[in-house]
Structure 1
Amino acid sequence: MGDSVNPFESDLGRGPSNHLALSPLSFLPRAAAVYPERCAVIHGDRAYTWAEVYQRSRRLASALTKRGIGRGDTVAMMAPNTPPCLEAHFGVPAAGAVLNALNVRLDAAAIAFMLNHGEAKVLITDREFSPVIKEALAEIAKAPGREILVIDIDDPLGEGGELLGETDYESFLATGDPDFPWILPDDEWESLSLLYTSGTTGDPKGVVYHHRGAYLNAIGNIQVWGMGPHPVYLWTLPMFHCNGWCFPWTVTALAGTHVCLRQVRASAIYDALADHGVTHLCGAPIVMQMLLNAPEEERRDFGQQVKFMTAAAPPPAAVLAAMQDAGIEVTHVYGLTEVYGPAVVCAWRGEWDAFDIEKQAAMKARQGVNYPALEGLMVADAETLEPVPRDGQTLGEVFMRGNVVMKGYLKNPSATEKAFNGGWFHTGDLAVWHPDGYIELKDRSKDIIISGGENISSIEIQDALYRHPAVAGAAVVAKPDEKWGETPCAFIELKPGASAEEVEIITFCRDRLAHFKAPKKVVFGPLPKTSTGKIQKFVLREKAKGL
């Protein structure tokens, strides 16, 4: 019967009536149409309805289009979690452009590299960051013919700063049409955003997201967190981190309320919990510590159940218990920039509620299982891609595949090919696979240090250390830290006859790196090496634990 016609394919076609590209841009017009007067954004004394957010986002798309910005162009954003940053997640791609949200903690050299590599034509920047942006723009201006339209955000809650652009954000919006046509992309594979990795070797890599992946991971957040309609979401997680783990689109899909936060402080978080009824927030473990260690005068009572999603280091049992006592339920996730943020979740099972808090913490320490939007997750041999036994002991590399994996690295085909070798995305993270299918990370093969939720490359710090005239050898590892989770610890072997002090080395690094990347501890002495001269970092990690 091989020649027979398949009745399910012969006269059932795909067209505009039954097939449209998936895009998170579709969430905003629906929220505005169904809940036009519902509160969408809170920022200090300001509040915007969903109708207003839609209008402002359309103005942004229109204003960019009038300036010649369109498909294939990059619009960079240097801003904290404020309304313009949220609006850019809709208005920029609605103009057909690609949003490049920049890490506000980076130094001028890194920012300049990203603006050049991503070929940004527009930079929307908050006045708070004018010193570093001014320096980055001066570096960019050295290239002939390289011009960027700079738009300043003059946030009334900010602390001011020099105006660098030809116009301010609100004036720029005023040039746009509030009825600008909201057209979804024809192809869901079209690029939506550009984000940069921390740069484990050499320059950081530009990770490119597409509309389909952002749409699916935004929906995945709803599924794994059990989010109902109209959540009140507090922006403690930076939107420059994997586009805020796709939550700009998730919360909009549910017509919830975005509560903006310029700076993450315990008092501001407690105020938001008490005054705005915040139900959900995300962040690194340091945010939990901040809440639990806040002085009594900064605390506020709140009556609602609150959900907290955290990545990086799993919460210790004592922290987990304290969060539960405070009325905050913790969900542990794992992901990477290359997979739109969290793509693995420690899905909680009801029977675990009967465990004592130590056992619950042990279960929650595991990274878990795949998001519904991530089709493939395995722990396997790094070379053969043969899955390891699910015995909770055999070490392997974590591999992922599916629609929430990046398009690839911008202008870096060799790195993209290497990352996708064998039909799987190679995370570079090492883990074991438990009998129940949950994975548990054991190490990071790329030597990334996760400090306060920020990824720090040990290699980048080592490169800076080697520039010091007294340094003969250097190795940087993670040192456990109660507040930050991990901080960089430098082990240094000095040149014969040379001398240096700890504070001198730290200052040297701070002058050459973003301050949060500088080592917090420096240890002098011979470096342990293999017979071939390779530094034995596992020995240094053990030493760092005891410091």
Structure 2
Amino acid sequence: MIVPFSVTDFIERAAAVYGERPGVIDEPDQPADPLGTLTYAAAYELSRRQSARLDELGIGVGERVAIVSHNSARLLTSFFGVSGSGRVLVPINFRLRADEISYIVSHSGARVLYVDPELVETLRGIDVEHTFVLGDDASMYAAPGTEPRHWEPDENATATINYTSGTTARPKGVQLTHRNLWTNAVTFGLHAGVSDRDVYLHTLPMFHANGWGMPFAMTGLGVPQVVLRKVDGAEILRRVEQHGVTVMCAAPAVAAAVLDAAQDWEGEIPGRDRVRIIMAGAPPPTRTVVRVEEELGWEFVQIYGLTETSPLLTVNRSRSEWDDLSAEDRAAKLVRAGAPAIGVRLRTDEHGEVLARSNVILEGYWERPDETSRALVDGWFHTGDGGAIGDDGYLSISDRKKDVIITGGENVSSIEVEDVLFSHPAVAEVAVIGVPSEKWGETIKALVVLADGATADEAELIAWCKDRAAGYKAPTSIEVRDELARTATGKLQKFKLRQPYWEGHDRQVN
């Protein structure tokens, strides 16, 4: 018997088994009217009312519905209200500029756009058939009790399109199927040891690779999910204490924020010997791992993946064989990307690029067959990352083959930033690279050659970027040079430009 996988499997089980349990604890401090604590039965009903409203609007199966939102209960239930009814959810990074969001809405062909109230004025000019403000529930949802049309699940149908900064100036839409999302959620939940005794804190943006699949995994296992709208170290500690949080996912910058807040925390750190923090985006320094385990008393888990892989490819969680190691020696093992998750096959090619095969690999890039054919070759996905697989099967990432900088967990295309800087009249040449950052993992640095007779200082060029791209994409430092070293054919070798800044590091990503 073959029963097609669907993201509705998770919410239907939650409603049936844990219907009266608190399922989603909404962010109390937000511009929309908070939904408070939703039981799983109420969350399921809300998703069905959303599906029914899309029926009323004539939004058909396979059509795209975009949403731009901070973490919220309405965003979380949209994964089921939109994708679970056969439509395609397009979660968009709320930090992007209006023109960047407009491009994604247009490129995806979305007919519906849900907007966070904080962004209404900024996004007012986007051309889309239907726009709803989150919190305007009378418009966003059908009347209570309205039954949505039945959708016969197709596990190979696209469930979400997640736009990611790649090596080109324009973001690419990653098509993830129901089968991709289902496989990722189940294997991630298994490796993370999730049970219905857990409490999950959404520190990770839900738009980011669908919150790494945790909205699905946690829902299916009946885990109460605490929504955090904006990252704040002290607030994370308060939520852990208030709700009994046991697990969260985060970029290294979030762990740094919690560690900073812990210095001023009065009394015992909440969650000691109970919380596990799952980290990705870029491996943190070994010192950070030691501090998480010793100062917070939380378990550190490292994973590696990409939006294109739903995202889980590898897991690195401390094992019994490492129990007698010193904290530093154990941390040195934990900062590796990890061992392949169940169902994942990894290898490296002759250039050292990491290749992967799995049921979590994307279907393709939306309307970009050329990019799809470059990424999927002979049944293997090309990650664009360089690395090595040890004798124990653990992957270590050593360098980034594609020109993407991961800063604070956000992907930034270096080519996109270069394009912005090139538009400044004083800039003749530019190379954008990632350099180590204690707080952000790595941060953006621009090496600039000015045009003859032109003048421009660092502050001016950084402000230029912030006016023309999302703030997090702007360089944090700019170095003016007389020339940029190139090969005989005129190509920049960014690994050589990065090298002086990474001396003393054993890999070219932090």
TM-score range, shorter chain: over 0.9
For the Cα contact (< 8 Å) 1:21–1:185, is it kept in 2? no
Q: Does 1:124 align with 2:114?
A: yes
- 1:460 lines up with 2:427 in the alignment: no
Aligned-pair distance for 1:533? 2.1
**Paired AA for residue 283 in structure 2:** P
For residues 457 and 322 of structure 2, the distance between their equivalents in structure 1, rounded to whole angstroms, comes to 50
Q: 2:21 aligns with which of 29, 38, 47?
A: 38
Q: Which has the higher contact order (CA 8 A, sep 6+)?
A: 2
- How much has 1:105 moved relative to structure 2? 0.7
Segments of 5+ residues of structure 1 without an aligned counterpart are 1-17, 141-146, 155-167, 383-395
Structure 1 residues 184 and 334: alpha-carbon distance in aligned structure 2, compared to 1, 3 A threshold: farther
1:278 is matched with which residue?
245
CA distance, structure 2, for counterparts of residue 223 and residue 179 of structure 1? 35
Among 405, 412, 418, the residue aligned to 2:361: 405
> Which residue of structure 2 aligns with residue 228 of structure 1?
195
| Aligned twin of 1:544 | 501
Q: Is the 8 A contact 2:72 2:227 kept in 1?
A: yes
Contact 2:278–2:300, Cα closer than 8 Å, also in 1: yes
Q: Does 1:193 align with 2:160?
A: yes
Residue aligned with 2:182, SS: helix
2:507 matched residue in structure 1: none
In terms of mean alpha carbon deviation, does 531-540 or 191-200 score higher?
Answer: 531-540
Q: How does 1:335-374 map to 2 (within 5 A)?
A: 335-374=305-344
Relative to structure 2, which stretch is displaced further, 125-134 or 84-93?
A: 125-134
Structure 1 segment 128-139 matched on structure 2, within 5 A: 128-135=118-125, 137=126
- CA pair 459-415 structure 1, distance change in 2 beyond 3 A: same
**Which of 293, 301, 320 lines up with 2:260 in the alignment?**
293
- Structure 2 counterpart SS, 1:263: coil
Contact 2:65 2:110 in 1 (8 A): yes
Spell out, residue by residue over 1:299-352, the C-alpha distance to the aligned partner (whole angstroms, 9 max, x if none). 664256001000122232322122112121010001011110222112433111
Query: Alignment partner for residue 421 of structure 1, among 373, 377, 381?
Result: 377
Q: Is the 8 A contact 2:312 2:360 kept in 1?
A: no
Q: Which runs of 5+ in 2 are unaligned?
A: 29-35, 505-510
Tell me how far 1:297 sits from its aligned partner. 4.8
Amino acid at match of 1:252: T
Contact (CA 8 Å) 2:7, 2:84: kept in 1 or not?
no
Q: Distance in 2 between matches of 1:444 and 1:219?
A: 28
Structure 2 residue aligned with 1:329:
299
Aligned counterparts of 2:90 and 2:64: Cα–Cα separation in 1: 7
* Residue in structure 2 matching 1:308, options 257, 274, 277: 277
SS in 1 for 2:248: strand
Instruction: Check whether the contact 1:107–1:514 (CA below 8 A) recurs between aligned residues.
Output: yes
Question: Contact 1:60 / 1:92 at 8 angstroms: preserved in 2?
Answer: yes
1:432-471 matches, within 5 Å, as: 432-471=388-427
Whether the 8 Å CA contact 2:52–2:149 is kept in 1: the answer is no
2:220 is matched with 253
Shift in Å, 1:94: 2.9
- C-alpha separation in 1, matches of 2:151 and 2:142: 22
Match status 1:97 vs 2:87: yes
Residue 52 of structure 2 corresponds to 62
State yes or no: 1:19 paired with 2:2: yes
When residues 477 and 453 of structure 1 are mapped into structure 2, their CA distance, relative to the original with a 3 A threshold, is same
Question: Which of 134, 137, 145 is 1:153 aligned to?
Answer: 134
| Structure 1 counterpart of 2:11 | 28
**What is the alpha-carbon distance in structure 1 between the residues aligned to residue 276 and residue 430 of structure 2?**
42
RMSD: 1.8
- Partners in 2 of 1:264 and 1:303 — Cα distance? 18
Q: Which amino acid aligns with 2:329?
A: K
For residue 27 of structure 1, give the secondary structure of its aligned residue in structure 2: helix
Bigger Rg, structure 1 or 2: 1
The whole-number CA distance in structure 1 between the counterparts of 2:26 and 2:310 is 26
User: How far did residue 176 of structure 1 move?
Assistant: 3.9
Query: How far did 1:24 drift?
Result: 2.1
Alpha-carbon distance between aligned partners in 2 of 1:174 and 1:25, rounded to the nearest angstrom = 18
Aligned partner of 2:188: which letter? N
Tell whether the 8 Å contact from 1:230 to 1:254 is kept in structure 2 after alignment. Answer: no
Counterpart of 1:533?
Answer: 490
Alpha carbons 2:52, 2:141 under 8 Å: kept: no
CA distance in 2, matches of 1:486, 1:37: 44
2:234 aligns with one of 258, 261, 267? 267
What is the letter of the counterpart of residue 171 of structure 2? P
Partner of 2:392: helix, strand, or coil? coil
Q: Distance in 2 between matches of 1:361 and 1:174?
A: 48
1:209 lines up with 2:199 in the alignment = no
- Contact 1:369 1:377 (8 Å CA) reproduced: no
Q: Which moved more, 1:312-321 or 1:191-200?
A: 312-321
Question: How much does 1:184 deviate?
Answer: 5.5
- Seen in structure 2, the aligned counterparts of structure 1 residues 367 and 307 have a Cα distance that, compared at 3 Å, is same
Separation (CA, whole Å) in 2 of partners of 1:230 and 1:125: 33
CA deviation digits over 1:149-190, x for unaligned, max 9? Answer: 111013xxxxxxxxxxxxx2x113552453525846442101
Q: Match of 2:490, SS?
A: coil
Tell me the distance in 2 between the aligned counterparts of 1:262 and 1:379.
Answer: 38
Kindly provide the CA deviation profile for residues 384-429 of structure 1, in whole angstroms up to 9, marking residues without a partner as x: xxxxxxxxxxxx1111112111110111112111211121111111
Check 1:327–1:422 CA distance in 2 against 1; reply closer, same or farther (3 A cut).
same
When the two structures are aligned, how many residues end up with a matched partner? 493
Shift in alpha-carbon separation, 1:211–1:176, aligned structure 2, 3 A: farther
Match of 1:159 in 2: none
TM-score (norm 1): 0.87
The SS at the match of 1:132 is: coil
Matched residue type, 2:337 = Q
Residue 523 (structure 1) aligns with: 479
8 Å Cα contact 1:55/1:179 also seen in 2: no
